Amino acid sequence: MDFVRLSFLPVGLADKDIELKFFLPKNTAHVSCSIVNLQKTEDYFTAQCHRLATVMAQQKDTTIDLLKMDIEGAEYTVIHDMVESALLPRILLIEFDEAHTPLDDNAGLRIGENIRHLVNAGMRCVAIEGSNATFVRNK
């Protein structure tokens, strides 16, 4: 029986191949850092980020069965890049971080626009629980 091998890639997911600032959370006991600086802090570190297309090419993958994104506000640009690149996974799990840490009064509009963008690209939203959404790609 073959088992799928999982590996950790020490890179961030973004809409371009670039080194970005990751701003630390206000609470030092928390681990989630944000390139959009959701918590409006000053301390940061830098790390290499890649587009999904780049990661797939490096790993010699042609399809993705499951992608889970909890990327602290960077999900919008990655969604746009995935749709434009036609690299949609079979199952996509996304935490829309602005649902609980809004940047401004337009957070709900941005979340709705991104859900519609995915739906228009062929994804079906099958569940929403709090700030988490599950999408399944239509055939």
pLDDT (average), residues 72-78: 94
Of the chain, the percentage scoring pLDDT greater than 90 comes to 81
pLDDT at 61: 92
In a domain, 7, yes or no: no
Give the pLDDT band of residue 1 (cuts 50, 70, 90).
low
Evaluate if residue 57 carries a pLDDT over 90. yes
> By residue range, what is the domain housing residue 81?
12-137
d(CA 1, CA 36): 43
In a domain, 117, yes or no: yes
pLDDT at 41: 94
* Contact yes or no for 121/89 (Cβ under 8 A): no
In a domain, 29, yes or no: yes
In a domain, 6, yes or no: no
* Contact yes or no for 75/114 (Cβ under 8 A): yes
In a domain, 124, yes or no: yes
pLDDT (average), residues 9-32: 93
In a domain, 126, yes or no: yes
Beta carbons within 10 angstroms of residue 33's beta carbon: 21
Q: Measured in whole angstroms, how far is the alpha carbon of residue 54 from the centre of its chain?
A: 15
The total of structural domains in the chain comes to 1
Give the pLDDT band of residue 3 (cuts 50, 70, 90).
low
Evaluate if residue 128 carries a pLDDT over 80. yes
pLDDT at 6: 75
pLDDT at 31: 87
In a domain, 16, yes or no: yes
In a domain, 119, yes or no: yes
d(CA 88, CA 72): 20
Evaluate if residue 107 carries a pLDDT over 60. yes
Give the pLDDT band of residue 8 (cuts 50, 70, 90).
confident
* Contact yes or no for 91/68 (Cβ under 8 A): no
Q: Which pTM was predicted?
A: 0.89
- Whole-number average pLDDT of the chain: 93
